[in-house]
Protein backbone atom coordinates (compact mmCIF):
# COMPACT_ATOMS: atom_id res chain seq x y z
CA UNK A 1 0.00 0.00 0.00
CA UNK A 2 2.70 2.42 1.02
CA UNK A 3 4.57 2.34 -2.31
CA UNK A 4 1.29 3.09 -4.08
CA UNK A 5 0.69 6.17 -1.92
CA UNK A 6 4.25 7.29 -2.50
CA UNK A 7 3.83 6.77 -6.23
CA UNK A 8 0.58 8.76 -6.35
CA UNK A 9 2.16 11.50 -4.29
CA UNK A 10 5.03 11.65 -6.72
CA UNK A 11 2.65 11.78 -9.66
CA UNK A 12 0.72 14.60 -7.97
CA UNK A 13 3.94 16.53 -7.35
CA UNK A 14 4.94 16.05 -10.95
CA UNK A 15 1.62 17.51 -12.12
CA UNK A 16 2.01 20.48 -9.78
CA UNK A 17 5.48 21.09 -11.14
CA UNK A 18 4.26 20.99 -14.74
CA UNK A 19 3.00 24.57 -15.21
CA UNK A 20 6.42 25.92 -14.21
CA UNK A 21 8.11 23.50 -16.59
CA UNK A 22 5.83 24.55 -19.42
CA UNK A 23 7.05 28.14 -19.11
CA UNK A 24 10.49 27.31 -20.37
CA UNK A 25 11.48 27.21 -24.02
CA UNK A 26 14.53 25.71 -25.52
CA UNK A 27 16.15 28.45 -27.57
CA UNK A 28 17.51 26.92 -30.76
CA UNK A 29 20.70 28.54 -31.99
CA UNK A 30 20.62 30.28 -35.34
CA UNK A 31 23.26 32.86 -36.26
CA UNK A 32 21.19 34.69 -38.90
CA UNK A 33 18.18 34.92 -36.57
CA UNK A 34 20.37 36.28 -33.77
CA UNK A 35 22.07 38.85 -35.96
CA UNK A 36 19.10 40.13 -37.93
CA UNK A 37 16.28 39.95 -35.38
CA UNK A 38 18.03 40.36 -32.06
CA UNK A 39 19.79 43.59 -33.05
CA UNK A 40 16.58 45.52 -32.33
CA UNK A 41 14.76 43.30 -29.84
CA UNK A 42 15.37 40.14 -27.90
CA UNK A 43 15.35 36.86 -29.81
CA UNK A 44 11.80 35.76 -28.99
CA UNK A 45 11.46 31.98 -28.76
CA UNK A 46 10.05 30.79 -32.13
CA UNK A 47 7.68 28.53 -30.15
CA UNK A 48 5.69 31.56 -29.02
CA UNK A 49 3.91 31.88 -32.39
CA UNK A 50 2.38 29.45 -34.87
CA UNK A 51 4.01 28.84 -38.26
CA UNK A 52 1.32 30.92 -40.04
CA UNK A 53 2.15 33.94 -37.89
CA UNK A 54 5.87 33.64 -38.64
CA UNK A 55 5.13 33.24 -42.36
CA UNK A 56 2.99 36.38 -42.36
CA UNK A 57 5.56 38.35 -40.38
CA UNK A 58 8.52 37.29 -42.49
CA UNK A 59 6.49 38.11 -45.61
CA UNK A 60 6.41 41.84 -44.85
CA UNK A 61 9.54 42.96 -43.03
CA UNK A 62 9.40 46.42 -44.64
CA UNK A 63 6.44 47.17 -42.38
CA UNK A 64 7.53 45.50 -39.16
CA UNK A 65 5.49 47.07 -36.33
CA UNK A 66 6.07 50.53 -37.77
CA UNK A 67 9.72 49.97 -38.67
CA UNK A 68 11.51 49.01 -41.85
CA UNK A 69 13.21 45.72 -40.93
CA UNK A 70 13.84 44.51 -44.48
CA UNK A 71 16.79 42.17 -45.03
CA UNK A 72 18.29 40.48 -48.07
CA UNK A 73 16.13 37.81 -49.66
CA UNK A 74 18.41 34.83 -49.02
CA UNK A 75 18.56 35.55 -45.29
CA UNK A 76 14.86 36.33 -45.12
CA UNK A 77 14.00 32.89 -46.50
CA UNK A 78 16.53 31.14 -44.25
CA UNK A 79 15.22 32.85 -41.10
CA UNK A 80 11.59 32.25 -42.09
CA UNK A 81 12.36 28.54 -42.55
CA UNK A 82 14.04 28.42 -39.14
CA UNK A 83 11.11 30.13 -37.41
CA UNK A 84 8.52 27.93 -39.10
CA UNK A 85 10.49 24.75 -38.28
CA UNK A 86 10.63 25.75 -34.60
CA UNK A 87 7.22 27.39 -34.33
CA UNK A 88 4.77 26.68 -31.54
CA UNK A 89 2.23 23.93 -31.40
CA UNK A 90 -0.85 23.46 -29.26
CA UNK A 91 0.69 25.05 -26.16
CA UNK A 92 1.00 28.38 -27.97
CA UNK A 93 -2.81 28.77 -27.94
CA UNK A 94 -4.74 30.87 -30.42
CA UNK A 95 -2.50 32.97 -32.67
CA UNK A 96 -5.23 34.18 -35.06
CA UNK A 97 -7.44 37.23 -34.66
CA UNK A 98 -11.27 37.28 -34.82
CA UNK A 99 -11.14 37.53 -38.63
CA UNK A 100 -8.89 34.48 -38.80
CA UNK A 101 -5.79 36.45 -39.76
CA UNK A 102 -2.55 35.25 -38.14
CA UNK A 103 -1.59 37.41 -35.15
CA UNK A 104 1.83 39.00 -35.44
CA UNK A 105 2.28 40.19 -31.88
CA UNK A 106 3.14 37.58 -29.28
CA UNK A 107 1.51 39.93 -26.77
CA UNK A 108 -1.87 39.51 -28.51
CA UNK A 109 -1.91 35.73 -28.27
CA UNK A 110 -4.38 34.09 -25.89
CA UNK A 111 -1.55 32.52 -23.93
CA UNK A 112 0.27 35.81 -23.37
CA UNK A 113 -2.93 37.60 -22.31
CA UNK A 114 -3.87 34.82 -19.91
CA UNK A 115 -0.40 34.73 -18.36
CA UNK A 116 -0.23 38.50 -17.87
CA UNK A 117 -3.79 39.15 -16.69
CA UNK A 118 -2.59 40.50 -13.34
CA UNK A 119 -0.26 43.11 -14.82
CA UNK A 120 -1.84 46.58 -14.79
CA UNK A 121 -1.52 49.10 -17.63
CA UNK A 122 0.48 51.34 -15.28
CA UNK A 123 3.02 48.59 -14.62
CA UNK A 124 3.60 48.08 -18.35
CA UNK A 125 4.33 51.79 -18.71
CA UNK A 126 7.04 51.94 -16.02
CA UNK A 127 10.31 53.35 -17.34
CA UNK A 128 12.03 50.17 -16.19
CA UNK A 129 9.69 48.03 -18.31
CA UNK A 130 8.60 50.33 -21.15
CA UNK A 131 6.81 47.73 -23.29
CA UNK A 132 5.26 44.26 -23.05
CA UNK A 133 7.77 43.31 -25.77
CA UNK A 134 10.61 43.84 -23.31
CA UNK A 135 10.40 40.34 -21.76
CA UNK A 136 13.75 40.63 -20.01
CA UNK A 137 12.58 43.56 -17.87
CA UNK A 138 10.71 41.14 -15.58
CA UNK A 139 11.68 37.66 -16.78
CA UNK A 140 15.26 37.86 -15.62
CA UNK A 141 16.26 34.69 -17.49
CA UNK A 142 14.29 35.37 -20.69
CA UNK A 143 17.45 35.33 -22.80
CA UNK A 144 17.89 31.68 -21.81
CA UNK A 145 14.25 30.90 -22.64
CA UNK A 146 13.23 30.67 -18.98
CA UNK A 147 9.88 32.25 -18.17
CA UNK A 148 8.95 30.39 -14.98
CA UNK A 149 7.49 32.16 -11.93
CA UNK A 150 10.76 31.61 -10.12
CA UNK A 151 12.74 33.93 -12.37
CA UNK A 152 10.25 36.80 -12.39
CA UNK A 153 11.26 40.08 -10.78
CA UNK A 154 8.94 42.99 -11.62
CA UNK A 155 11.03 46.18 -11.33
CA UNK A 156 9.71 49.33 -9.61
Q: CB under 8 Å to 103, separation ≥6 — which residues?
A: 49, 53, 94, 95, 96, 97, 109
Assign 17 to helix, strand or coil. helix
Shortest Å, Cβ 78 to another protein: 15
Q: Does 137 bind another protein (CB under 8 A)?
A: yes
Q: Is 37 in the site for another protein (CB under 8 A)?
A: no
CA distances in angstroms from 36 to 56, 71, 151, listed in the order given: 17, 8, 27
133 binds another protein (CB under 8 A): yes
Q: Residue 20 or residue 61: which is nearer to another protein going by CB?
A: 61
Residue selected from 24, 32, 41, 151 as contacting another protein according to rule CB under 8 A: 41
- Give yes or no for residue 142 binding another protein (CB under 8 A): no
Sequence-separated (6 or more) residues with CB below 8 Å from residue 44: 37, 106, 135
As measured in angstroms, the least distance from the Cβ of 142 to another protein is 12
Q: How many residues does the chain have?
A: 156
d(C-alpha 50, C-alpha 20), whole Å: 21
Looking at beta carbons only, is 12 or 40 nearer to another protein? 40
CA distance 10 to 21: 16
Binding mask 56-85 for another protein (x = CB under 8 A): ------x--xxxxxxxx-------------
What are the residues binding another protein (CB under 8 A)? 38-42, 62, 65-72, 130-131, 133-134, 137
Amino acid sequence: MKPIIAASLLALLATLALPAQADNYSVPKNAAFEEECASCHMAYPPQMLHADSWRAMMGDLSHHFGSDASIDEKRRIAIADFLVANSGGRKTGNTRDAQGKPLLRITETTRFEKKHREISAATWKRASIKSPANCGACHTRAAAGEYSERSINIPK
